[in-house]
Amino acid sequence: MALTATLFKLFKGYSFRTTEISSRFCSALQHANNTNSILADKGKTKVEALSPAVEDLSTITPYFSNTFNLAAYINQSKTLKNLVDLNVNISKIEKKPYIVERFLKLDFEKDMKNHIIFLNNYIDMEDMGNFLTKNPMILCEPLEDLQVRVNYLHSKDFEENQIQRIVMNNPFWLMFSTIRIDKRLGFFQETLNLCGKEVRYLATKQPKLITYNIHSIKTNMFVIKEEMGFEENEVKELVLKKPKILMLNQRSLFERFNYIHNTMKISHFTIQQNPEILMCRKFRIKQRHLFLEKLGRAQYDPKKENYIPIKSLVEDSDIEFCKNFAKCSVNDFNMFLKTL
Amino acid sequence: MVKFKTAASAYKTLNGLICVYKPPCVPVKQVLHIVKTNLCRDLNALPDRPLEQRVEIIGSTNEPMKVKVVPNYADDPRVCGPRYIIEDFKCTWASHLGLFTSGVLLIGVNEGTKLAYKIKSGQPTRAYKVHGQLGKATDTYFWNGKTVERATFKHVTREKIDKVVANMQAAHQKTMFEQSGLQMDLQSTYELASKGLIRPADNKLPVLYGIKCVYFDSPNFTLEIQSVNEYDKYLWTLVHDLGVQLKTAAYCTGVQCIRQAKFDVNLALLRKHWTLEHITDNMNTCQEILDENEQLIKPESALLTA
């Protein structure tokens, strides 16, 4: 069922030429020519056309026609089979035809093996499939470049386990040249006023942030600083606590903040202390807050009695939340949700 | 709760009507998309069928060849993609709710899309809770619009609202017969009308059967409305009209659908419950209700029963 549907995701037929297959194809052609001439010779001597063939014809295979997906090729290709055994999700790679075109020209023994052995220094074999699914193009990068990029991290005093984390959590890190990575690390150091240790901490905590779209990061910085009104050092602390805040959608981030700060009357300081409430979708905060308000329990000030920690609005399941903080059964909460 | 052993058996049961609770500010299209993706996610997590086998004949042709059965790589979900994808599901709504409207939403899944269509053409009555606020009028008649007018509302009491609302209801019931498409001076019309309320012939014109004020705490009030063929903007204008008739201004702060035909809010699934188990459970309950009330799908007369 799924297969037929994927068939519809047409991508323009790319020619399939792993070295292995194209060589086989060439030899098949040659062979066919030979047999033709032999048959022609035999035709002269009036040998019956249906007589059993004597020579080995197993090298003759049909030509690989254009296809909608790689599943058509996989049983013939040792390389692709090996990748599947490594737990690489081929169906995800094939969604991008321009990648497939380059990817298929690689040979497992020649082009991939050394890369995988190299990457194995930083990534466990179980995660290798996931890594290669996300970024198959790393196999097209020269091995020396990858080594240089890792050496750069060593030169910047990253520890071994930090480098492992960076490479594993951000499959695209090693695609970036050292110059670009250096520029980007510099950008974060400058805009957030970080010291060397903090830059390393930030890069290790959220490696994806460093290679993220700079324009979007700049917009998020603007939203946090100017629209939300956090101070320079508060922004730094927020980002170090939750680096993902710079990778969120600006509009939803601001809407969330708007609700928390202006409707729920939570101060900047509390938000800065508990930045995880900015990571939760607005409707979740909203429904729990409204429920507490209905119960008359929406009291987030730690200095007064019946204090409810702001974190409880985003953490745990609804069952836990109702039991620990709202002090009622989940059914009541569900009934309340049906009145919104 | 039903526990499924295989994904295929679960997929086969997914034909029918479900009843979900649509949150406000989430479009119906997105609701359908979430339901579909959740179903795919849960089905793909269930135990899969065993991999297909593939017969390979290898060896040179002039010698005895070997026949081998090997696993077929092309059948692996890692190669041909997940077993269930969004395009495998057909979903449609039985009656559309606007972006800002929340409440009961009937969704037909796969074969159930036909049921949804039939329910839609059966013109079910729907009950709404419409929340409004006095003292302010906006250009869209809803909270998202710009304020165009402010007015005092101290003179409005519960009695005055009830009076105006009863007046509106009477006016609507009068037009109900005019819109029924019947000739007024016939015996059959009289017989039909003597039995009670009737549906309109047209499926575009909104008809209200009952309006009641169920909550009043100045300036906020809530109306409960039973109607056919209405749409969200029509209900907003109703609140605006009410404001004008009360000699003040009013705008709508929320519309909530609490019942569609026999499907009420207790049956509806909340957003966190849109998972395979809950959905199949809900589908069974909905099917039971449909079996009990066949007139929902094939109304025999214009008489209003549900």
Residue A328 covered by a domain = yes
Within a domain: A258: no
pLDDT of residue B23: 92
Which residues in chain B have Cβ-Cβ distances shorter than 8 Å to A283? 23, 271
- B96 shares its domain with B220: no
Looking at beta carbons, which pairs linking A264-267 to residues 24 or more positions away fall under 8 Å?
A264/A289, A264/A298, A264/A300, A266/A300, A266/A310
Total domains in chain B come to 3
Which H or E run contains B170?
Answer: helix B158-178
Residue A175 included in any domain: no
| Residue A327 counted as domain residue | yes
pLDDT of residue A95: 87
Quote the pLDDT of residue B196. 73
Q: Which amino acid is at B6?
A: T
Contact criterion met (CB below 8 Å) for A122 and A160: no
The one-digit pLDDT tens for each residue of chain B (306 residues) are 778 888 888 999 999 999 999 999 999 999 999 999 999 999 999 988 888 898 988 888 778 888 999 888 888 888 888 999 999 999 999 989 999 999 999 999 999 999 899 888 888 889 999 999 999 999 999 999 999 999 999 999 999 999 999 999 988 888 877 777 777 788 887 887 777 777 777 778 888 889 999 999 988 999 999 998 889 899 999 999 999 999 999 999 999 999 988 898 999 999 999 999 999 999 999 999 988 888 777 776 667 654
Average pLDDT value for residue range A107-132: 88
Q: Look at residue B28 in the predicted model and tell me its pLDDT.
A: 94
- Select the residue of A5, A53, A84 nearest B79 (Cβ to Cβ): A84
B131 forms beta bridges with B222, B254
Residue B256 pairs with which residues in a beta bridge? B102, B129
pLDDT at position B296 is 77
Residue A38 tokens read as: 């032999």
For an interface test with A, give the residue of B78, B259, B272 to mutate (most A CBs within 10 A).
Answer: B78
Find out whether B83 and A2 touch, Cβ atoms under 8 Å.
yes
Residues of A in contact with B43 (CB under 8 A): none
Minimal Cβ distance to A74: which of B73, B85, B270: B73
pLDDT in the model for residue B249:
93
User: Torsions phi, psi of B88, nearest 5?
Assistant: -75, -15
Residues in A closer than 8 angstroms to B65, CB to CB, are 58
How close is the nearest chain B Cα to the Cα of A174, in Å?
Answer: 25
Q: Say whether B58 and A58 touch across the interface (CB within 8 A).
A: yes
Counting beta carbons within 10 angstroms of the beta carbon of residue B64, is it exposed (0 to 12), middle (13 to 18) or buried (19 or more)?
exposed
Q: Which residues in chain B are closer than 8 Å to A64, comparing Cβ atoms?
A: none
| Alpha helices in chain A, H assignment, sequence order | 2-8, 19-44, 78-85, 90-93, 97-103, 113-119, 125-134, 143-155, 160-169, 178-192, 196-205, 207-210, 214-222, 232-241, 250-258, 268-273, 282-295, 318-321, 330-337
Residue B221's domain comprises: 125-260
CB A168 within 8 A of CB A206: no
Subunit contact A340:B83, Cβ cutoff 8 A: no
Is B91 found in the same domain as B22? Answer: yes
* B82 touching A (Cβ < 8 Å): yes
Per-residue pLDDT at A23 exceeds 50:
no
Interface list for B 83-142 with A (CB within 8 A): 83-85, 87-88, 102
Interface of A with B in 34-63 (CB under 8 A): 53-58
Verify whether the Cβ–Cβ distance A6 to B81 is below 8 Å: yes
pLDDT confidence of residue A41: 52
Quick: pLDDT tens for A27-66. Answer: 444 554 555 555 555 555 555 677 777 777 777 777 878 8
How many domains are contained in chain A?
Answer: 1
Kindly state whether A28 is in contact with chain B, defined as any CB-CB distance less than 8 angstroms. Answer: no
Query: Residue B163 maps to which CATH number?
Result: 3.30.2350.10
pTM of this structure: 0.85
CA closest to A287 among chain B residues: B23
Report the candidate in B202, B243, B194, B190 with the shortest Cα–Cα distance to residue B219.
B243
Chain A neighbors of B79, CB-CB under 8 A: 70-71, 74, 80, 84, 90-91
B24/A75 CB distance under 8 A? no
Beta-carbon pairs below 8 A across chains A and B: 85
CA pair distance B22, B97, nearest whole angstrom: 8
Q: Are residues B245 and B304 in the same domain?
A: no
User: What confidence score (pLDDT) does residue B254 get?
Assistant: 92
In whole angstroms, give the CA distance from residue A306 to residue A311.
15
Average pLDDT for A180-198? 90
What average pLDDT score do residues A169-198 get? Answer: 91
Partner-chain contact B74 A75, CB within 8 Å: yes
- Tell if the CB–CB gap between B88 and A69 is shorter than 8 Å: no
CA distance B21 to A178: 52
DSSP state of A140: G
Q: Considering CB atoms only, which of B60, B73, B88 is closest to A84? A: B73
Interface test with A, best of B22, B55, B79, B255 (most A CBs within 10 A): B79
Residue A73: its pLDDT value, please? 84
For residues B210 and B136, state if they share a domain.
Answer: yes
**What is the ipTM for the molecules in this complex?**
0.86
**Same domain assignment for residues B117 and B103:** yes
Nearest to B293 by CA among B261, B259, B269, B260: B261
Q: In whole angstroms, give the CA distance from residue A247 to residue A189.
A: 17
Identify whether residues B112 and B167 lie together within a single domain.
no
Q: In this complex, which of A58, A71, A283 lies closest to B80 when CB atoms are compared? A: A71
On whether both B213 and B276 belong to a single domain, the answer is: no
* B21: closest CA of chain A, how far (Å): 7
Under 8 Å CB-to-CB from B216, ≥6 apart: which residues? B158, B161, B222
Counted residue by residue, chain B has a size of: 306
Cα–Cα dist A231/A189, whole Å: 17
Query: Alpha-carbon torsion A150, A155, A156, A157, what sign?
Result: positive
Nearest CA in chain B to A336: B270
Identify whether A35 is part of a domain: no
Q: What are phi and psi of B239, to 5 degrees?
A: -65, -40
Distance of CA A298 to the CA centre of its chain: 38
Please give the residue of chain B at the shortest CA–CA distance from A319.
Answer: B272
Q: Are residues B183 and B301 in the same domain?
A: no
Answer yes or no: is A299 within a domain. yes
Identify the bridge partners of residue B224 per DSSP, sorted by sequence position: B129, B212
| A190 vs B278: CA distance, rounded Å | 51
B265 touches chain A (CB under 8 A): yes
What is the pLDDT of chain A when averaged over all its residues? 82
Range of the domain at A338: 280-340
Q: What are the residues facing B225 on neighbouring strands? A: B128, B211
Residues 6+ apart with CB under 8 A from A320: none
- Inter-chain touch A69–B80, beta carbons under 8 Å: yes
